[in-house]
Copies of this chain bind each other. A is one copy, B any other.
């Protein structure tokens, strides 16, 4: 688990104690792939015999996010997900299936250019962006799932 050392280095840089729990949480996140909920992380810790309180998991995740090693995501599920940034492209975006919740990553260099253009136009100093596409993944579509529009038959009309 060499990645945990990066987090330990961060803690030392900040003058914070490196505790057993912090290392365990970091290991649980770094040794997994994908977008983990806090419950996922708690489960992984429990499976490896660690018994760590939820509060400590939350507190450690804050540190992991601050360190820049982990990204926090909110896909509108009512809770957050965490994804470590090692072993992957530094910038990527997400396809989110509204049916099964599967998250697929993709890269688009054009987005960075758009961010820069827009930021220049609005005198905005960008620190990060997010681009998410919601819809139906291939599996769900093949399974016959469809998303029907349930809104007005014609939104703009007869003001």
Chain A residues 87 to 121 lying within 8 A of chain B, measured CB to CB, are 93, 95, 97-98, 104, 106, 108, 110-111, 114-115, 117-119, 121
- Report whether B130 and A135 are in contact in the complex, using a CB–CB cutoff of 8 Å: no
Contact A122 B151 (CB under 8 A): no
A159 within 8 A of B: yes
Interface size bucket, A side?
Answer: 35 or more
Partner of A136, one of B69, B108, B125, B135: B125
A110 to chain B, nearest CB (A): 6
For A136, the chain B residues whose CB sits under 8 A away are 124-125, 127
Cα distance A150–B149 in the bound complex, in angstroms: 44
Which one of A5-13, A15-23, A40-48, A49-57 is at the B interface?
A5-13
